[in-house]
Every structure is written in structure tokens, then in C-alpha cells.
């Protein structure tokens, strides 16, 4: 769906300037003709809209927006008034501008889903799918409330993951800076001093100096930049994206982290959809369409295929090797007892406890590993520099 700005004339000769949502130009002409207008000129205003909204709106902002809108709709406030009240509050300025556009589109008779779909940079694909379901089922307030909990949980999880990663990343960066200073500042000066004293450099220092020369050369820097750019372009291409994305599910520790996060994300999304009255297959299809991970997309397609072939949901999920433990058990119980939604709610509560414990555990395991590995590398470099210096001093009877 695109947004067009147009200028037209009606049968009475009045000039009309307005905006219109249409899939393409052909549909735009049809809509204007059906309204008894004659088109003078038009332009696609979608690019301008995207430019104004191409900014990060956090999951916390989305969660608060959904919470406020849900509460107001529950109180009987109409959608236009609710959007106006939220817009006048202290919210993200890009979301504020977006809400002004939403009011305009909804006032003209467009659905909330169609209006929000103009802002894919602000509203996630999964949210748009759920909003459409909520509108059609008449459960918009409940859907918005569930979305608020979902995006707030996502925000908290991302915050915890970033906090857990700060220490290892800082250690790694400090080590890189230290090694860079050793190679570019300390090593050349020491090599020059030893060369003046002994007229010959130890083999270890010669090797390190050769490495320093290679790393400092234009050819190496250019090659490194070219390889990085090539890798980036390959990752961006759909043809290779799935190949690279699948690797994070093959490295032992990283695989465990991503599987746990994905299981929590899937159970949250599945619970919201089932609670909104969407069938199991349609819920799986919406999750598959909204995910950006090509590896997961293929897995979800296989799950959908298995369910359509008559296999139970729990069996199909288990075959994918994406899910494990209590999640599969609760889904199986929910299927057999006809209480899938209730079981998924229990899973969410358990997942929230498990994921916090899991992040703390992984963080504690990674920290000493990073320190040991970095310490070993730094120690090896320092030893290769200073042991030859001490040997040279002994040979000159300095000690």
C-alpha cells in the first residue's frame, strides 16, 4: 500500500487536493474515477514519508503506545481521540509525527492496519499482522494489551543481553588497543634500540616487525576493507543470507543462546495469536511471514507443512530441532487437553524466569573464557618482545 498526493477537479469545476492510499497507480486512477473526480496531477508521497520516519523507535516506545491505546479504547474513547491524546503526551518525536499521519488516514476512513502499514520503519511486521487480526475479530483492545506485554518483554530481554555483553566486549576492545599500541609505538622503538646495541635483532623480534610491516601496509588495509565489504554485500543478498544466518545455530555456545531467545520469542508470538482467535496454522504462517531470519523461515515452513499433513503441533515443533524441554511438554498437554492458550501462558511465565537465569549463567561462563583467551594472546606478544630484550642485555653484560 502506497500513499499518493493528488490534485483533481470535480463535476462542478472545484479543485480538490487530497491524499489517497492505493496499491499502484492503476488502483489510484480507479478510486479517483469512482469518486467522480478527474485527475489533474499526482505524486507518490511515500518516499517523503519514509524519509521522515526512518529512525529507531524502541520496543519500549511501541510497548507504551500499545498500552496507552489499549487502556483508552477500553474506557470507550474513540480511536481518533485516543491517538490525539497520546500524540500530545511526551513521546518519541518520530512516533508523534507518525500518529499525526495516522489520525489523518483514519479520519478519511482507512483502517488502523492500513494506516500503520505506511510506517514499516516504526511499526514491526508482526505488530501490523496482529493489529489486522484484532480489527477483524473485534478484539483490538486485548490484542494491543498483549502486544504491549510482548514488546516490553522484548525490550527488557534486549537490555539484559546488552548488559551481559558489555564486559566481554570492553575487555576485547581494551586488549585490541593495547596490542595496537605495542605493535605501532613500543615495538619499533625497542627494535631500534636493540639494533643499535647488538647490530642484530633476535628472530622473534624480526618476525613481529615483519608482521607489523604487513599490518601497516596499504595493501593489507585495502585487502581487509575489500574483504569486509564483500562479506557485508554477501550477507545482505537473500541468496547467501540464509547460509550466514544458519551458522549462529551451529556454534555450540552461540547456538544455545539463539535457540533460547527464539523459543521465548516464538512462544510469546504464538500465545498472542492463539489468544486473538487465530487458528494454529494461520498463527504459524503469520510468525513465518514476519520473521526476517531466512534460516527460521525455512524451519517454520516445514512446521506448517507437517501440521497440514496431519501431524500434531508438538510433534512438528519437536522435528524442527528449534524447541526443547518444558515448552514442548506444555504444548503437548495443551493440545491433548484443549487448553493450548492456557498452557502457553504458563510457558511464558516459566520462560521469563529461565531466560534470566540462562543469561546470567552464560555471562558468568563467557567472562573468564574471554579473560583467559585475551590474557594468553597479550602474554604471548609481551613475552616475544621482552624476553629477546632481556637476552640481548645479558649478552652485553648489562646485568
Distance (Å, rounded) from C-alpha 347 to C-alpha 361? Answer: 20
Residue-level pLDDT at 244: 65
At residue 1, does pLDDT exceed 70?
A: no
**Phi and psi, residue 243, nearest 5°:** -60, -45
Task: Tell me the mean pLDDT in the region 78-85.
Answer: 91
**Residue 283 — very low, low, confident or very high, per pLDDT cuts 50/70/90?**
very high
Domain residue ranges of the chain, discontinuous segments joined by +: 2-44, 59-152, 252-356
pLDDT for res 183: 77
Residue 216 has pLDDT above 80, yes or no: no
Query: What whole-number distance in Å separates Cα of residue 224 and Cα of residue 115?
Result: 45
pLDDT confidence tier of residue 171, bands split at 50, 70 and 90: confident
Q: Do domains 59-152 and 252-356 have the same CATH topology?
A: yes
- From the candidate CATH numbers 1.20.81.30, 3.40.50.150, 1.25.40.10, 1.25.10.10, the one assigned to the domain spanning 59-152: 1.20.81.30
The answer to which of 52-56, 69-73, 178-182 has the lowest mean pLDDT is: 52-56
Q: What distance in Å separates the CA atoms of residue 137 and residue 127, rounded to the nearest whole number? A: 15
Higher pLDDT residue, 317 or 191?
Answer: 317
pLDDT tens figures, 232-252: 787 777 666 666 667 777 777
pLDDT in tens, 98-146: 888 888 888 888 889 988 988 888 899 899 999 998 888 888 998 999 9
pLDDT of 55 higher than 60: no
Please tell me the distance from the alpha carbon of residue 44 to that of residue 182, in angstroms, as a whole number.
56
Better-predicted residue by pLDDT, 49 or 44? 44
- Between CA 331 and CA 277 the distance in angstroms is 17
Q: What is the per-residue burial (b if ≥16 Cβ within 10 Å, else e) of 161-198?
A: eeebeeebeebeeebeebeeebbeeebeebbeebeeee
Q: What superfamily in CATH does domain 252-356 come from?
A: Type II secretion system (T2SS), domain F (1.20.81.30)
pLDDT, one tens digit per residue, over 4-35 is: 788 888 888 888 888 776 777 888 888 888 88
CA distance linking residue 235 with residue 241, whole number of Å: 5
Q: Are 113 and 128 in contact (CB under 8 A)?
A: yes
The upper half-sphere exposure of residue 351, i.e. CA atoms within 13 Å in the direction of its Cβ, equals 26
101: phi > 0 → left, psi -120 to 50 → alpha, else beta; which?
alpha
| The model scores a pTM over 0.75 | no
Amino acid at each position: 500500500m502506497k500513499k499518493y498526493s493528488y490534485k483533481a477537479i470535480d463535476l462542478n469545476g472545484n479543485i480538490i487536493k487530497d491524499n489517497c492510499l492505493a496499491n499502484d497507480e492503476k488502483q489510484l486512477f480507479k478510486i479517483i474515477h469512482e469518486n467522480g473526480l478527474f485527475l489533474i496531477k499526482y505524486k507518490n508521497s511515500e518516499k517523503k514519508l519514509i524519509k521522515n520516519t526512518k529512525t529507531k523507535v524502541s520496543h519500549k516506545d511501541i510497548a507504551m503506545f500499545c498500552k496507552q491505546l489499549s487502556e483508552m479504547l477500553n474506557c470507550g474513547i474513540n480511536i481518533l481521540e485516543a491517538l490525539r491524546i497520546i500524540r500530545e503526551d511526551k513521546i518519541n518525536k518520530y512516533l508523534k509525527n507518525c500518529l499525526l499521519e495516522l489520525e489523518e488516514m483514519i479520519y478519511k476512513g482507512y483502517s488502523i492496519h492500513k494506516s500503520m502499514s505506511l510506517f514499516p520503519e516504526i511499526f514491526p511486521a508482526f505488530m501490523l499482522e496482529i493489529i489486522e487480526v484484532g480489527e477483524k475479530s473485534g478484539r483490538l483492545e486485548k490484542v494491543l494489551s498483549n502486544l504491549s506485554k510482548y514488546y516490553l518483554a522484548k525490550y527488557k530481554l534486549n537490555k539484559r543481553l546488552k548488559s551481559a555483553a558489555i564486559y566481554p566486549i570492553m575487555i576485547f576492545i581494551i586488549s585490541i588497543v593495547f596490542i595496537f599500541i605495542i605493535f605501532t609505538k613500543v615495538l619499533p622503538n625497542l627494535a631500534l634500540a636493540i639494533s643499535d646495541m647488538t647490530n642484530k635483532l633476535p628472530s622473534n623480534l624480526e618476525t613481529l616487525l615483519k608482521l607489523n610491516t604487513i599490518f601497516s601496509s596499504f595493501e593489507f588495509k585495502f585487502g581487509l576493507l575489500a574483504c569486509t565489504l564483500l562479506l557485508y554485500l554477501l550477507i545482505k543478498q537473500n541468496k547467501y543470507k540464509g547460509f550466514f544466518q544458519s551458522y549462529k545455530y551451529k556454534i555450540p555456545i552461540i547456538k544455545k543462546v539463539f535457540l533460547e531467545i527464539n523459543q521465548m520469542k516464538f512462544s510469546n508470538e504464538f500465545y498472542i495469536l492463539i489468544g486473538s482467535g487465530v487458528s494454529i496454522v494461520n498463527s504459524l504462517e503469520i510468525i513465518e511471514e514476519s520473521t526476517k531470519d531466512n534460516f527460521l523461515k525455512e524451519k517454520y515452513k516445514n512446521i506448517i507443512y507437517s501440521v497440514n499433513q496431519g501431524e500434531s503441533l508438538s510433534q512438528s515443533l519437536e522435528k524442527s530441532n528449534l524447541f526443547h524441554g518444558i515448552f514442548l511438554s506444555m504444548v503437548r498437554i495443551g493440545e491433548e487437553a484443549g487448553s493450548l492458550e492456557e498452557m502457553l501462558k504458563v510457558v511464558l511465565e516459566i520462560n521469563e524466569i529461565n531466560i534470566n537465569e540462562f543469561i546470567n549463567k552464560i555471562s558468568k561462563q563467557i567472562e573468564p573464557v574471554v579473560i583467559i583467551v585475551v590474557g594468553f594472546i597479550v602474554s604471548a606478544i609481551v613475552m616475544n618482545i621482552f624476553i629477546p630484550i632481556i637476552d640481548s642485555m645479558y649478552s652485553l653484560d648489562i646485568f
